[in-house]
Copies of this chain bind each other. A is one copy, B any other.
Amino acid sequence: LSVEENIMATHTVDRASAHEILPQFTARWSSRAFAPTALDEAQLFRVLEAARWAPSGSNTQPWRFVYALRGTPEFARFLELMVPFNRSWAAHAGALVALVSTDTLPDGRPHPSHAFDAGAAWMSLALQAHAMGLHAHAIGGYDRTAAPAALGLPAGFAPQVLIALGHPGDPAALPAELLTRERPSDRKPLSDLVFRGSFAPAQAG
């Protein structure tokens, strides 16, 4: 597709919801086009505040947030954790946030839902960012072995995702290989995801 066709495609992906929901859920998507301007700390804290109020198992709140603002030495350190593809576009973000969680309960037992709970916090963060006109894009493609030391994580804390956060940029400024991906992604139909009473998948043979 040409650049123009790709920009058009951004607006023609069918994200019509099959059942009526709040517009925030389909309007939000994971863009890679960031304006290379720093994010105000005040804006960052609003985004993290939303995450803070997420529910969690026994209200344990296992999430923690380590951040780097654009233009600081730590920003480069966060970027270096990413695989090159993600680094190429996340380099333009206004802030990078490492969402980490504690895998241990206060009583020392393993936390059964720390990753799940961290995911709830991420969703709140993403929706608040969207409401503020910001882009938030979670990145799973990073060096999970190197991340704990690079982020200064104490024992018992596990990295979940790196989040690129910032003001929207012009998609036309993206390199071609990124521009082709610069559109809201589709989803499986609800009928593939929902089962009444029992999962009971089609048994082969």
Contact = CB atoms under 8 A, between A and B. Distances in A.
Contact of A116 (B28, B65, B119, B188): B119
A131 interface: yes
A18 B193 contact: no
Contacts of A59: 185, 187
A17 B53 contact: yes
Given A58-B140, A152-B199, A21 B157 contact: no
Among A28, A120, A198, residue most surrounded by chain B Cβ atoms (within 10 Å): A120
A45 B49 CA distance: 29
Contacts of A160: 113, 116
Given A161-B116, A199-B153, A65 B193 contact: yes
Given A53-B17, A124-B123, A197 B22 contact: no
Interface residues of A, number: 77
Given A57-B140, A116-B122, A46 B19 contact: yes
A85 to B, nearest CB: 12
Interface string A139-179: 01000100000011110010011000000000000000000
B120 A152 contact: no
A74 interface: yes
17 contacts: A19-B42, A19-B46, A20-B46, A22-B127, A22-B131, A25-B53, A29-B55, A58-B140, A61-B188, A61-B193, A64-B193, A100-B199, A112-B144, A113-B161, A119-B120, A152-B195, A152-B197
Interface of A: 15, 17-22, 25-26, 28-30, 42, 45-46, 48-50, 52-55, 57-59, 61, 63-69, 72-74, 77, 100, 112-113, 115-124, 126-128, 131, 138, 140, 144, 151-154, 157, 160-161, 185, 187-188, 190, 193-201
